[in-house]
């Protein structure tokens, strides 16, 4: 589904789940990441939507990524833990109101997503927003948290979304090498 569009009817959920069957049958689906935009705030309606999303997806593991720091409170983590929902640990620019880096596991799946630290996040086209190549020093700083969360979860996933100019592939290879040498 297009980023920013809310799946909000049973038929759409049904079709989405159906599209996942080949991945599930081949044991290639670790989870579904649901990314919620900056303007998605914690309120009764949105918490209800998260609950409905969980119910509609039934036994498919879910990880939620919030883009607004207003979600960064203990109530959010308790909600996710009680529902068996994963929290996506993000690294993105340190700008007001964006979600800060906060390593935390709330389910059996640990999930890290690295967006880069381009401070022009709000002032450039999406294609340039993710123009950032992490240095080896920056990547090494994440290793203790990745190792800690991997001890607390059955599976820990690491994704790079700094996709401009192939940076994601470069950083993923670097991170894999760093983790292998640990």
Question: Looking at the whole model, is its pTM more than 0.75?
Answer: yes
Residue 96, pLDDT score: 87
Q: pLDDT value at position 79?
A: 97
The reported pLDDT for the residue numbered 98 is: 92
Give the residue ranges of the chain where pLDDT is below 50.
1-2
119-154: pLDDT as tens digits = 887 778 877 888 899 999 999 999 999 999 999 999
The CATH code of the domain at 10-180 is 3.20.20.410
What pLDDT, on a 0 to 100 scale, did the predictor assign at position 56?
94
pLDDT (0 to 100) of residue 124: 81
Q: How far apart are CA 136 and CA 44, in angstroms?
A: 42
């Amino acid at each position: 589904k297009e980023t920013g569009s809310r799946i909000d009817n049973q038929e759409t959920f049904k079709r989405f789940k159906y599209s996942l069957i080949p991945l599930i049958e081949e044991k290639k689906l670790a989870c579904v990441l649901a990314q919620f935009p900056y303007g998605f705030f914690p309120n009764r309606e949105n918490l209800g939507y998260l609950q409905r999303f969980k119910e509609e997806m039934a036994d498919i593991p879910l990880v939620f990524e919030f883009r607004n720091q207003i979600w960064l409170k203990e109530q959010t983590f308790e909600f996710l833990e009680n529902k068996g929902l994963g929290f996506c640990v993000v690294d993105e620019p340190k700008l007001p109101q964006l979600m800060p880096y906060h390593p935390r596991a709330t389910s059996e799946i640990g999930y890290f997503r690295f967006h880069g630290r381009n401070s022009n996040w709000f002032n450039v086209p999406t294609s340039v927003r993710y123009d950032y190549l992490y240095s080896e020093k920056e990547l090494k700083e994440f290793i203790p948290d990745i190792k800690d969360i991997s001890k607390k979860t059955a599976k820990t996933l690491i994704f790079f979304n700094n996709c401009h100019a192939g940076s994601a592939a470069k950083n993923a290879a670097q991170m894999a090498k760093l983790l292998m040498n640990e």
